[in-house]
Amino acid sequence: MSDTTPASRAQALRALLEKYNRAYYRDDAPLVSDAEYDGLFRELQALEEAHPELLTADSPTQRVGAAPVEAFEPVRHPVPMLSLANAFSDGDMADFDRRVHDRLDIDAETAVDYIAEPKLDGLAVSLIYENGVLVRGATRGDGSTGENITANLRTIDDVPLRLNTEQPPAMLEVRGEVFMPLAGFHALNTRAEKYGQKVFANPRNAAAGSLRLLDSRITAKRPLALYVYALGQVEGVDVPATHSATLEWLAGLGFPVNPEITACHGLAACQQAYADFAEKRAGLAYEIDGVVFKVDRLDYQADLGFVSRAPRWAIARKFPAEEVPTLLESVEFQVGRTGALTPVARLAPVQVGGVVVSNATLHNMDEVRRKDVRVGDTVIVRRAGDVIPEVARVLPELRPDNARLIELPQTCPECGSKVETVEGEAVARCSGGLFCPAQRKAAVLHFASRKALDIEGLGEKLVAQLLEGGLIEHVDDLFALEPATLARLDRMGEKSAAKLVAAIAKARETSFARFIYSLGIREVGEATAQALAGSFASLDELMAADAERLEAIQDIGPIVAKHIVAFFAEEHNRRIIDNLLEAGVHWPDPQPAGAGAETADDLAGNTYVLTGTFEGYTRDELKARLQVRGAKVTGSVSKKTTAVFAGEAPGSKVAKAEAAGVPVEDQAALFGLLAIEEQAD
């Protein structure tokens, strides 16, 4: 039977919290969320209060942080750098206010003045000035002894090297928080990713890691900032009578003071300030994890004193935890509008960031495998602002014996089509693009788009009405719509309905390439559709082609070939294609590859520029035809340009071509090259 006495539990909690402290404060690599740590810390506090004989001098409840790293010279703080007690609710704040009144012997109806400061998520530092000159900077460390990081702190622009006064104090110690603004953090990680370097998990880690670099030249390149919030030891000057006035004085000496700091007259004002900071939190240029409230009068602070690790005159009101543990009960797969399958964790409901969460994204199967997530695991759920909650990590030590691996389904949970996976791609997708209910809105919009069947007037809102009203299910249903039915829709009317039906009827006549493009096959754009249309004598021949046959076509590689084969192999897609043909969608018989040209890639090595308008064709369509033949089509003229084809109302590219000695040809020359018959006047 395991030893579960209060003494053994307290010993285990002390060891665990000390481990977490070292990881957080010394190694800058947190092992648990704030919520987990706070819960364990409160449990140990409760045990020590219930059993005073268990309290030890080295308990985490009696000191702050962890010992300094050996790489830096240890620094003894003249005045200990204390931590703060935490509040997690309005009730905790009310208890704090009541204790302040009781200890100061102030009537409960008399409001105490407090100062509300954003609780920055950075690294606490001490700056010591002698006769106005910075002589030493240190981390908080364990509260009594920190690390000498003077050289690194000197690199931060916000840190004054000399005080802005002609009569400086003989000695002045200022406390503050070094942090990394979000913009700088994202820029730092972007550069790290570009050069294959390690990225930081969050701005706090980035700031702490930057301050502990042994080479201050690297620290100087990091986007660090500072806000000061308190005094330590002071000699040779009379300090102001209040905390707020002290901050103003420090600002006058050249120290940066957070402009968001707010004065609060009484408890109700504190509660309102907390709500205001919670609302503006997402819009701040830096991360905060709560609000610190301090009694404003310094004589009151002196009277209130402190307990072993925290002042009685201040408290940190934490925002609701954004990372909490819960049980992963099952996993379902959702299908997005592009066919991507996303694993979604169904969780035992838990409050995260002030919201009850029962679902969280697992992103994709690569992430599931990387994090080794299994059904039955205890997982840490993360939620930040309005971001969709995610499973951040697993607690493997709590994994039950019957935990189950998560398997990717072989068929789409929405339509039963085969799920396609591509080696090297993290996302798996449903292959039933024309049929799948989850993809049908995107499929209809693509089918009707200008470069596909070009159905004028069929926009996103109207497609949504048609689908939600059950008037269509798939793209083939568009050709059965009648004016009387459409006229009953919002903002349609008889005239608009008739116009849309006419546009749909007109779309029946198209080209082979446009039809291929309209199907929405993954990674089959206009140029690839043109290449396919120029390489197959019929749609049946294209649908029957295997990957080897497709890969023989220029610019079609194995991945695109696999997408094409998978699309036409899906019975649902073929059924809708048959329905489209029965509805009258048609095109002229395709010209076989080489019709009007020597080979399918006879223009390889040539570079062309198109400018102006061309009769019956868009520049994109002509560009695709040239690319099918192996040519390169660019948007600018250079000495490497083979020719510029100018249609009606050409732009400045003609003059540039003439200046560069590049031939300028007309529409007739282009159409002749492409074997396009010009329309007679």
Backbone angles phi, psi at 631, to 5 degrees: -80, 160
CA distance 334 to 388: 14
The DSSP annotation for 145-165 comes to: EEEB-HHHHTT-TTS-SB-S-
Sign of CA dihedral 440, 441, 443, 447: positive
- Mapped onto helix, strand or coil, the DSSP state of residue 554 is coil
Beta bridge mates, 608 = 633, 643
Q: What angle do CA 440, 441, 446 make, to 5 degrees?
A: 95
First to last CA, the chain: 99
CA distance 152 to 159: 10
- Mapped onto helix, strand or coil, the DSSP state of residue 339 is coil
CA distance 155 to 150: 9
Query: Which of these, 157, 156, 161, lies nearest to 136 by C-alpha position?
Result: 161
Q: Residue 118's CB: how many other CB atoms inside 10 A?
A: 24
Residue 476 DSSP class: G
Question: In this structure, are residues 232 and 174 in contact, taking their beta carbons and an 8 Å threshold?
Answer: yes
Enzyme catalytic residues: 119
The DSSP annotation for 58-119 comes to: T-GGGS-S-PPPTTS-EEE-SS------EE-SHHHHHHHHHHHHHHHT--TTSPPEEEEEEE
The helix, strand and coil proportions of the chain, stated in percent and rounded to the nearest 5, come to 35, 20, 40
**Token digits for 123?**
């690294």
HSE-CB for 644 with a 13 A CA cutoff: 25
